[in-house]
Amino acid sequence: MDLMSIKQISPDQVIFWHWGPISLNATILFTWAVMALMVLGSWLITRRLSTDVHLSRWQNLLEVVVNGMRNEIRDISRQKPDPYLYFVGTLFLFILVPNILSVIPGFITPTASLSTTAGLAICVFAAVPIYGIMSRGLPGYLRQYLEPTVFMLPFNVIGELSRTLALAVRLFGNMMSGTKIVAILLAITPLVFPVVMHALGLLTGVIQAYIFAVLAMVYIASATRAQQQTKREHKNNERKGENS
Amino acid sequence: MESISLIGMASVITAGLTIGIGAIGPALGEGRSVAQALSALAQQPDEANRITRTLFVGLAMIESTAIYAFVVSMILLFANPFWDYVVSNAGG
C-alpha cells in the first residue's frame, strides 16, 4: 500500500532518513519534489516564450492559468491584480499542484500535514499587515482595528488569530480526510470504491486550493480596500461639490 | 475497570459522537445555502459566476466546522495522547 499506515495521521511521521537531530520526513521530501517540479516546469516553459500567433501548448496553459488568476483577483479585490498576483498566485499553485499530484500512488501530498498548512497560513498572517501598511500606512492600518468602536479591539485581534488557525486546520483537515478515507476504504472495500473517493478527493483538492487563495485575497483586500473606498467617496463628493 | 480499556472505550465512543453530531449542523447549513443559491441562480442566471464563486467559498467555510469535528475524531482514534500515555506506562 502507501507509505503511510492508517495509524499515522500526518506525513511528518513518515521518516525516510535520520541523522542525529536532523530527519528527512515525507512532508519535506515531497515539498521539495513539488518545488523542483514547479520551478523546473516553469523554467522549461518560459524559456522560449513567443509573442507570435503560434504558441506552444504549454505556454498556452500557463497563460490561461495566470490570466485566470489575474481575473479572479481583480473580481475579488476590485483593484489592480499585479501586486497581489505573486503572493496569492504562488499560494494557489503551491497548494493546487500537490493536491492534484496526490492521485499518483505513493505520493503523499505535503498539504495533508499540519506543518505545511500552518506555514502557509502564517505567510498569509504576515502578508495581511504588510499589504495593509504598504497601501494605507501604519496609522491607517492600525486604525482599522478600532474600526467600529474602540471596544472591538480585542475581537478584531482574536479574529485575526482565529482565522489564521482556521485557514491552517481547514486545508489540513480536508486533505488529511481525503487520504485517510481512501486508506480506510482500502481496508474495507478495496475493489472500486477507493477510486471514486480518490476522484472526489481531486475535486476537493482543487476547491480547497481555490478557497485558500480566495480567502487570503479577501483578507488582504479587507486590509487594503477601505482606504481606497474612502478616497473614492471623497472624490465623488468633490465632484458633486464642483457640479453644484 | 482498567484505565486502558476505559480510555479506549471513551475515545471510540466520543470519536463517533463527535463526527456524528458535528456533521448535523454543517449539513443543514450547506443544504440551506445550496437551496438559496439555486433559487438565486434561477432568478438571475447572468450572475451565475459570482453566485457560484460565493457559494463555493461559503460552502468551504461552513464545511470547515465539520472538518474540525472530523479532525478531533481522527485525533481521538489515531493520535490519542491519553492512550499513548497509558500504553507507554503499561509497557514499562
pLDDT over threshold 70, residue B65: yes
For residue A206, which of A38, A65, A5 has the smallest C-alpha distance?
A65
- When pLDDT is cut at 50, 70 and 90, the band that residue B35 belongs to is very high
Residue with cell 471514486: A196
Segment A114-128, tens digit of pLDDT = 889 999 999 999 999
So where are chain B's domains?
Answer: 12-84
A153 Cβ neighbours under 8 A, 6+ residues apart: A145, A146
Cβ contacts (< 8 Å) between A172 and chain B: which residues? 71
- Contact between B70 and A177 using a beta-carbon 8 Å cutoff: yes
pLDDT over threshold 50, residue B24: yes
A214 and B CB contact within 8 Å: yes
B64 and A CB contact within 8 Å: yes
For residue B68, which of A199, B76, A95 has the smallest C-alpha distance?
B76
> Span A140-148, mean pLDDT?
82
Give the H or E element holding residue B41. Answer: helix B3-43
Instruction: Specify burial of residue B65 (Cβ count, 10 A radius: 0-12, 13-18, 19+).
Output: middle
At residue A51, the pLDDT reads: 78
Sequential DSSP letters for A26-79: HHHHHHHHHHHHHHHHHHHHHHT---SS---HHHHHHHHHHHHHHHHHHHHHSS
Interfacial A residues in 182-211 facing B (CB < 8 Å): 207-208, 210-211
Cβ contacts (< 8 Å) between A177 and chain B: which residues? 67, 70-71, 74
At residue A89, the pLDDT reads: 92
Cβ contacts (< 8 Å) between B56 and chain A: which residues? 207, 210-211
> Span A93-97, mean pLDDT?
93
A181 and B CB contact within 8 Å: no
Cβ contacts (< 8 Å) between B57 and chain A: which residues? 211, 214-215, 218
- Contact between B71 and A210 using a beta-carbon 8 Å cutoff: no
ipTM of the complex, rounded to two decimals: 0.72
Size of interface A-B (CB pairs under 8 A): 43
A169 and B CB contact within 8 Å: yes
Segment A164-210, tens digit of pLDDT = 988 898 899 888 888 888 888 888 888 888 888 888 888 888 988 99
Range in A71-75, B44-48, B61-65 the model is least confident about: B61-65
* Nearest neighbour of A166 by CB, restricted to B56, B64, B74: B64
In chain B, whose CA is at the least distance from the CA of A7? B78
Q: What is the CATH number of domain B12-84?
A: 1.20.20.10
- Closest CA–CA distance from residue B6 to any residue of chain A (Å): 20
- Contact between B50 and A176 using a beta-carbon 8 Å cutoff: no
In chain A, whose CA is at the least distance from the CA of B71? A173
Question: What CA–CA distance (Å, rounded) separates B2 from A196?
Answer: 42
Give A99 or A179, the one with higher predicted confidence. A99
At residue A230, the pLDDT reads: 55
For residue A88, which of A198, A155, A167, A203 has the smallest C-alpha distance?
A167
Cβ contacts (< 8 Å) between B64 and chain A: which residues? 166, 169-170, 173
- Contact between B71 and A7 using a beta-carbon 8 Å cutoff: no
- Contact between A166 and B56 using a beta-carbon 8 Å cutoff: no
Segment A19-77, tens digit of pLDDT = 777 788 888 888 999 999 999 998 988 887 777 777 788 888 888 999 999 998 888 88
Instruction: Specify burial of residue A29 (Cβ count, 10 A radius: 0-12, 13-18, 19+).
Output: middle
Give A87 or A24, the one with higher predicted confidence. A87
The mean pLDDT value of chain B amounts to 87
At residue A1, the pLDDT reads: 42
Q: Report if pTM > 0.90.
A: no
Q: Cα(first)–Cα(last) distance of chain B, in Å?
A: 20
Segment A129-139, tens digit of pLDDT = 999 898 888 88
- Contact between B64 and A169 using a beta-carbon 8 Å cutoff: yes
- Contact between A173 and B67 using a beta-carbon 8 Å cutoff: yes
- Closest CA–CA distance from residue A181 to any residue of chain B (Å): 11
The 3-state DSSP class for residue A86 equals helix
- When pLDDT is cut at 50, 70 and 90, the band that residue A234 belongs to is low
